Structure 1
Amino acid sequence: MEPLLYQLGAAFSVGLLSSGHCAGMCGGLSAALLSGSNERTFLKALALSAGRVFSYAVAGFLVALTASALTQLAEAKHWIVTTQILAGVMVILAGLYITGWYRGLTYIERAGAGIWKRLQRLAKAFLPIRTIPTAFCYGLVWGWLPCGLVYSTLTWNLSAEAAWHGAAVMFCFGLGTLPSMLSLGMLGNRVAKLLSNRGFRNLAGGFVIALGLFTLLSALDRSTWF
């Protein structure tokens, strides 16, 4: 398994460099929910993102917990190599998704669309967002919005040594998204336009692809199958 520190750093990098994607997918919603530029608006934006990041951590914990149980049923070395290969492929797909060169992750997002439709009913109970606790609760639901980048990062947790490792990886991914999402909520279209710049997305996506290739090659180097 890749060192936990590497996974934490890579997850943070993917979150940070997915700013352009976040701007397109969630920027409009964030700006609509939290218009304005005063201190209270910032606190609500922070609470909204805190709820979202907490949901990512819960998802990472559950995936890692499930994977740990499956590891007991399979030969550990083969399982770890297989999941590393899958993680590398998924991160490469995430990089291609960020650049817009290939949108294959949208097919994975569609798999979660049905669940999100049900969760939207729950989310409506917290609208309009007038208080900080309400913003946090809405963020808890928002964190389960189908997202290919979230799903690709979750695959790293299939080889986690402990459930809390999965939570930590997804927490770092969420932290990486904070700068863009907080600025989108406060500044709206001006920041969204910058983050959606083609050059920025190509550069960010290229870096994520490089991370995926490193993960994939590391897994192949350790495998005794090839």
Structure 2
Amino acid sequence: MILDQGGKLLTFRRSRLANTIGVSSLAFTADGQLILVAQAKDNVGSPGLIAPSGSGALEPRDVPQDGTGLTLGDIVRRGAERELREECHISEQDIEVSAIVGHGRWVSRGAMPEFCVVTLLHLTSDEVLDRAVRLVERPYVTEVLAVDLAPITRWNPKKPLAMLPEEIRGSASWPLALGLACLAQSIVDQSWPLGQELMQRLPAQRQRRPVREGA
């Protein structure tokens, strides 16, 4: 159901699998830390692993009834921000801006399409971590983390996990690795609209600080 007779991925048009579109967000705080989510062991997508700031799939509510003029990119950003708000207990007002940085296909989940979004927050890392995980999200989210990434000069899309603190690299989920690889590619693109602002939040030389955990 995933590959054709030649061993190549089936196109979406030919696939008989569920038409699900995955969306993930890498959210950076005002003080330059990346927010991550530790998934519960019963989570379907990445059980027991470290996931992006928000991750899940598009839902019908991500397309408003009067959605005239919305592009696929608009809908993807809406879905990614919704997942982020739900899993990290933040509001629309806490989000500054979001931009898609890439997409791939999650082969072990039926080659599901997965879009990666980078989001800049108005909140500091302490403000995010001070918010308890919502009761409805506790079956899926065990804790929220705020981490420093490696200096930008060491970002490599071929080695995305090396961007993370060493103590959590072995627990990174596939969407997190994909998002980091896409981010490493985007940061060197001078036309990427969020590049300059993100770089201002991430000092070129920073000392590694311990991973901090939220409620």
TM-score range, shorter chain: under 0.3
- Larger RCO (CA under 8 A, 6+ residues apart): 1
Structure with the largest fraction of strand: 2
- TM-score w.r.t. the length of structure 1 is 0.25
